[in-house]
Structure 1
Amino acid sequence: MDSYDLLIIGGGINGTAIARDAAHRGARVLLVEKDDLAQHTSSASSKLIHGGLRYLEYYEFRLVREALKERELLLRTAPHIIRPLRFVLPHGEGMRPWWMLRAGLKLYDLLALGGSLPHARAVRRSEAALRAPLKAAKHLAVYWDAWVDDARLVVLNAVDAAERGAEIATGTELLSARREGDVWRASLSGGRNVVARAIVNAAGPWVADVLKGRLSESSDSGVRLIKGSHIIVPALYDGDQAYILQQPDGRVVFAIPYEERFTLIGTTDFPVNAPDDAQISAEEIQYLCDAANRYFTRTVGPDDLVWSYSGIRSLFDDGAQDAQAVTRDYHLELDDDPGAKLLSVFGGKITTARALAEEAMELLAVEGRKSTRSEPLPGGDISPGFNLYLDRLSAWLPPALLTRLSRAYGTRLRDLLGDAQSLDDLGRHFGAGLYEAELRYLKAHEFARTAEDVLWRRTKTGLHMNQDERRAVADYLGA
């Protein structure tokens, strides 16, 4: 029977970040995920690495400060999948006072404490391109955060963990586990049984279900399940800037450039009763369309949707009445049983997952160097030499394809392309710049199994393909 230091349940951002940190410290790690990595909440975010400007209204200063520190670390360690993003904040009648917004932006910059991104400021009259997409706005401000390919961030954490000895078992479900003295004996799907000195319950929306149903344990902490939905529509404006749109109900909605041709609009905050309630409703679609139409001259309606997605965030229940006011901070609960350890993860956000993992290691007394603060994620070791390599590739790779591949894989692009010197060397073309060589790489190195894994998480090529092209990928992968 295989034995591990840590058995981690859940292949979202928290689970994979913990696996990575533990593997860096030399722990024997097994991560199990019943579906695909980032299949649920962690691929259903607004794709942002940010401090959370709106959290200042709820006095979440510690969370914002930590998130801004992590933003800076992530910009350095994963520059291929994370890049700075300029936000435009329009202001008009009936909104929070302009002085309050300016003060909030000033505080946001102060909490960043000398970060590398530009400071917030008012939009200049000369910056007509930022005003052009908007209806009348009395004031405009700009500030900076960062964009992230959220699903790839999860996958690269898992890749790094695996390369340091962790076992990443997707399509594997924890059926049950029981304490026997200083170890857990766990039964997994497929008839496999393992022993672990500690279990980390990072099951996201299913954290309470795993505690009660699979581990037969109780908890003093509660979970609030909040659905967040996004829609993707044809681009509402030109330019690479995002917009943060204040709504009459006090919420904010982001409008973000997405995949060159689209605008991503979200998110909503709707309480739900079950982790599987991750389907966008007609009410949410209309809400997001209305949110955009209040600001942009180019209007959008439900018939314009190209794609949509929803995810369930399992937030730590801090007693707040409104869904938007529930804390986005994480809560780690180490139970007090004197035997084998059990750590449960409640809440959190994609930006602070690395810090959460580091704290989890301290609670579990896993010793070792805190190397995830400085070591790049796979592909993130960008150097002038790599830029020269990209220049050589530009002789035969189309510009749009070279941009997509370099932003997705960074320096690991060398491994994906191998000795290829022409598009013919990449094998069959399935459409939208997805070649057989990339499919082989994703299966061999990034735990991809199905067409959905590839088209909607590892890449976003599904957005650019027709039904026949997507079906061809599924036939090739056999799923």
Structure 2
Amino acid sequence: MNADIRSTTAALRERPQADVLIIGGGINGVATFRDLALQGIDVALVEKSDFLSGASAASSHMIHGGIRYLENGELRLVHEAVTERNDLLTTAAHYVRPLRTTVPIFSTFSGLLSAPLRMVLHRKTASTERGALLIKVGLIIYDSFSRGGGKVPRHTFHGRRRSLRALPDLNPDVKYTATYWDASLRDPERLGLDLVRDGIAVGGSRARAANYVSAAGVQDGKVVLRDEESGEEFPFAASVVLNAAGPWTDLANRALGDATRYMGGTKGSHIVLDHPELMQATGGRELFFEHSDGRIVLIYPLNGRVLVGTSDLEHDMSEPAVCTEEEVDYFLDLIGHVFPTIPVDRSQIVHRYSGVRPLPGHGDMAAGFVSRDYRIEEAILPGSDRVSVLSLVGGKWTTFRAVAARLTDELMTRIGRERVRSTKGLPIGGAVGFPRADADRDEWVHQHLSDFGLERGTRLLHRYGTHALAVATALRQDDDDAPLSTLPRFSSGEFRHMATSESVVHLDDIFLRRTNIGFRGEATREVVEEVAYAVSDVMGWDAATRRSEIDRTLAAVHAADPVAV
């Protein structure tokens, strides 16, 4: 399937009705949009900002079963997540790859008594450290969930000498390392965009998705939609409404006239470092471990950088989520805990970001023990006696397909329809026909993109999956396509193609969600200005608008930086 993703705000106004209206274009919203479109349902999706710009953009870039949730007793969730992880290694092979994960362990028996208490009491106990025996038991259970369909190797355990031979810069106090496999998610926003693209491709005019459109109120049993760019409002009728606004679910319901209190999300922040020595020290694997306060944290090589995270702090949704200096201190300290001889400081941070997890309200329960599972709440749209509003509470990146399948079944029940197609095992977007072996990728590039040369063709395949065919067609037709002088691994034509086919509204959409330029810390003023000039004509920007978009992008990319750009 292949289709352009264009702004469909006008299409929503022209035909202001659908069987299902989805509020929220995060990963669970767009996955449900695709699933409903595959069932032939007339579905519309609106997102107040850009697609995948909220909680879904602030993840740790992993597809994982959540081994630490075993300690919370969430066996059903872990089993489902491991199953979905295995599936995504095939169905999203262009962006999801196996990830070797190593746990440094500094004790043998610690945690054997306190872990069961933590599971029951949902709070920290006197001893928070997990020892080798406890971790071994957890990994045996974790591996068992992959039985009969495992796509990754089983875990291994090594003592101090062998551990330091594999990772020489590791803290010499380490007693053991445990190594298991999960999966990395290289470009989560592009995977989400592929889900939108799939839905539009199969649904045509019956599958409409618009970014920068919000649900602003209710009028005569209809949802009032607001174009966030023009300010125009119009009523939209739906048989059933899905609120998939993530941590903003209560705020979206409040806009619809229902003051729910379902959510209690916690803030998670990350920093991204350009640090070759630290990158080398990881040995190409994720380090996943317990810090001194009992928090599970990670050091993770990704996209030529090192990702470090994450925090787990209570957050007021009326305030913006930003990575604070205190959190940065915490991250630098945790690096020193694992790699004490490698100096790291703020000068090596090229990007930082923060988001709020869509967790349920949890009262006095410790943030780390709040369930990552999901549930569905139902109400009636105010002013209507028959329009149901289903609110998704919870959910995590890895389980988006399973969550969407359950939501789709629930939604179709309410409109009297039955599922006609399963999404399990169905490739997503650019994973269709994607060659997974290196030799096969070289052959694919030679067969389809030989005129671009092996290096550039491979880069296009890596960046877009098999959607590289559509990108290549656009580039061949763009007489002005040329490598950027400021960032030669991209070309001007690529950005023009994004601007015209991927529902780009603002320049920062490109830097933060259509590419990983912002993540890698490459969004300098010079790069931003060159891209702005490349897309100005196709975006219809005059000189004043272009300057405004440049300023907006620099502010967005560097929002958490301690000094002004």
TM-score after normalising by structure 2: 0.78
Q: CA deviation at 1:144?
A: 0.3
Larger deviation, residues 111-120 vs 171-180 = 171-180
Q: 1:222·1:317 contact (CA, 8 Å) conserved in 2?
A: yes
Structure 2 Cα separation of the partners of residues 460 and 68 of structure 1? 27
Could you say which residue in structure 2 is the equivalent of 1:416? Answer: 471
- Residue 194 of structure 1: CA displacement? 1.8
Compared with structure 1, are the counterparts of its residues 403 and 60 closer, same or farther at alpha carbon in structure 2 (3 Å cutoff)?
A: farther
Q: Does 1:248 align with 2:292?
A: yes
Which runs of 5 or more structure 2 residues have no equivalent in the other structure? 1-14, 111-128, 536-545, 550-565
1: CA distance, partners of 2:457 / 2:355: 30
2: distance between equivalents of 1:345 and 1:465? 35
Q: Which moved more, 1:233-242 or 1:119-128?
A: 119-128
> Is the 1:334–1:344 Cα contact (8 Å) retained in structure 2?
yes
1:460 to 503, 516, 520: 516
1:120 counterpart = 2:117: no
Query: What's the CA shift for 1:446?
Result: 2.2
Q: Is the 8 A contact 2:94 2:434 kept in 1?
A: no
* Cα distance in structure 2, aligned partners of 1:185 and 1:464: 41
CA change 1:53–1:410 in 2 (3 A) is: same
- Greater share of strand residues, 1 or 2? 1
1:282 to 325, 336, 350: 325
Offset at residue 329 of structure 1 (A): 0.9
Correspondence 1:356 to 2:403: yes
Alpha-carbon distance between aligned partners in 2 of 1:51 and 1:179, rounded to the nearest angstrom? 44
What residue in structure 2 maps to residue 470 of structure 1? 528
Which position in structure 2 is the counterpart of 1:194? 236
Structure-2 residue corresponding to 1:63: 77
* Bigger Cα Rg: 2
Give the 3-state SS of the residue equivalent to 2:253 in structure 1. Answer: helix
Q: Residue 379 of structure 1 aligns with which residue? A: 430
List aligned pairs for 1:96-245, cutoff 5 A.
96-114=130-148, 115-123=150-158, 130-136=166-172, 137-148=174-185, 149-165=187-203, 166-178=207-219, 180=221, 184-189=222-227, 190-212=232-254, 214-219=255-260, 222-235=262-275, 236-238=278-280, 239-245=283-289
- Cα distance, 1:408 vs structure 2: 2.6
Residue identity opposite 1:471 in structure 2 = E
TM-score, with length taken from structure 1: 0.92
1:77 corresponds in structure 2 to: 91
- What is the distance in 2 between the residues matched to 1:39 and 1:293? 32
C-alpha separation between the residues in 1 aligned to 2:141 and 2:243? 35
Q: Which runs of 5+ in 1 are unaligned?
A: none
Contact 1:8 1:32 in 2 (8 A): yes
Alpha-carbon offset, residue 204 of structure 1: 1.3
Deviations 1:113-161 (A, max 9, x none): 2311001111486676632231211101110000112211211111111
Q: Which segment drifts farther, 169-178 or 363-372?
A: 363-372
Q: Measure how far apart 1:411 and its partner are.
A: 0.7
Partner of 2:554: none
The CA deviation at 1:265 is: 0.2
Task: Supply the AA of the counterpart residue of 2:389.
Answer: L
Residue aligning to 2:490: 434
Question: Compared with structure 1, are the counterparts of its residues 24 and 386 closer, same or farther at alpha carbon in structure 2 (3 Å cutoff)?
Answer: farther
3-state SS of 2:166 partner: helix
1:84 to partner: Cα distance = 0.5
Give the counterpart letter for 1:363 in structure 2. Answer: E
Q: Is residue 2:346 matched to residue 1:311?
A: no
Tell whether the 8 Å contact from 2:163 to 2:176 is kept in structure 1 after alignment. no
The separation in 1 between residues aligned to 2:478 and 2:333, in whole angstroms, is: 44
Q: Distance in 1 between matches of 2:225 and 2:497?
A: 31
* Sequence identity percentage: 33
Give the distance between the partners of 1:65 and 1:27, measured in 2 at CA.
30
User: Secondary structure of 1:188's match?
Assistant: strand
In structure 2, do the counterparts of structure 1 residues 22 and 423 end up closer, same or farther at CA, with 3 Å as the change threshold?
A: closer
Do the aligned partners of residues 424 and 240 (structure 1) sit closer, same or farther apart at CA in structure 2, a change above 3 Å counting?
Answer: farther
Quickly say closer, same or farther: Cα 1:371–1:443, change in 2 above 3 A: farther
Answer whether contact 1:86 1:143 (CA < 8 A) is retained. yes
Q: Measure how far apart 1:467 and its partner are.
A: 2.1
Larger mean Cα displacement after TM superposition, 278-287 or 327-336 = 327-336
1: CA distance, partners of 2:209 / 2:476: 33
Distance 1:386 1:237 in 2: 26
Q: Deviations over 1:41-77 (max 9, x none)?
A: 1111000000001111111101100111111111111
> What is aligned with 1:300?
344
Deviations 1:267-300 (A, max 9, x none): 1001011254211111111111111110113132
- 1:404–1:108: structure 2 CA closer, same or farther, 3 Å change rule? farther
Q: Does the CA-based 8 Å contact 1:80-1:409 persist in structure 2? A: yes
Relative to structure 1, the CA distance from residue 447 to residue 333 in structure 2 (aligned partners, 3 Å threshold; closer, same or farther) is same
* 1:24–1:368 Cα contact (<8 Å) kept: no
C-alpha contact 1:432 1:464 (8 A) present in aligned 2 = no
- Residue-by-residue CA offset, 1:435-476 (whole Å, 9 max, x unaligned): 122112222332223222112211112323432112222344
Q: Which residue of 1 is the match for residue 391 of structure 2?
A: 344
Question: Over residues 77-107 of structure 1, what are the superposed CA-to-partner deviations in whole Å (9 max), with x where a residue is unaligned?
Answer: 1100111000011111473121110111111
Which residue in the other structure is 1:87 paired with?
A: 101
Aligned partner of 2:373 in structure 1 is: 329
Instruction: Judge conservation of contact 2:225–2:234 (CA < 8 Å) in 1.
Output: yes
> What letter is aligned with 2:262?
G
Q: Report the AA paired with residue 190 of structure 2.
A: R
Match of 1:7 among 21, 25, 28: 21
Distance in structure 1 (CA, Å) of the matches to 2:297 and 2:242: 33
Q: Secondary structure at the match of 1:454?
A: helix
SS of alignment partner, residue 442 of structure 1: helix
Contact 1:226–1:313 (Cα < 8 Å) also in 2:
yes
How far does residue 248 in structure 1 lie from its aligned partner after superposition?
A: 1.6
Between stretches 434-443 and 7-16, larger displacement belongs to 434-443
Partners of 1:174 and 1:186 within 8 A in 2: yes
Residues 467 and 130 of structure 1: is their aligned pair in 2 closer, same or farther, counting only changes over 3 Å? farther
- Matched ranges for 1:385-404 at <5 A: 387-391=442-446, 393=449, 396-397=452-453, 399=455, 402-404=457-459
User: In terms of mean alpha carbon deviation, does 1-10 or 15-24 score higher?
Assistant: 1-10
User: How far is 1:363 from its partner?
Assistant: 1.6
1:106 to 1:3, Cα distance in 2 relative to 1, 3 A: same
**1:209-244 Cα distance to aligned partner (Å, 9 max, x none):** 1112x111244x521121100001123132321111
* Number of matched pairs: 472
The answer to whether the Cα contact below 8 Å between 2:216 and 2:223 also exists between their aligned partners in 1 is no
Amino acid of the structure 1 residue aligned with 2:47: E
Alpha carbons of structure 1 residues 11 and 275: separation in structure 2 relative to 1, 3 Å: farther
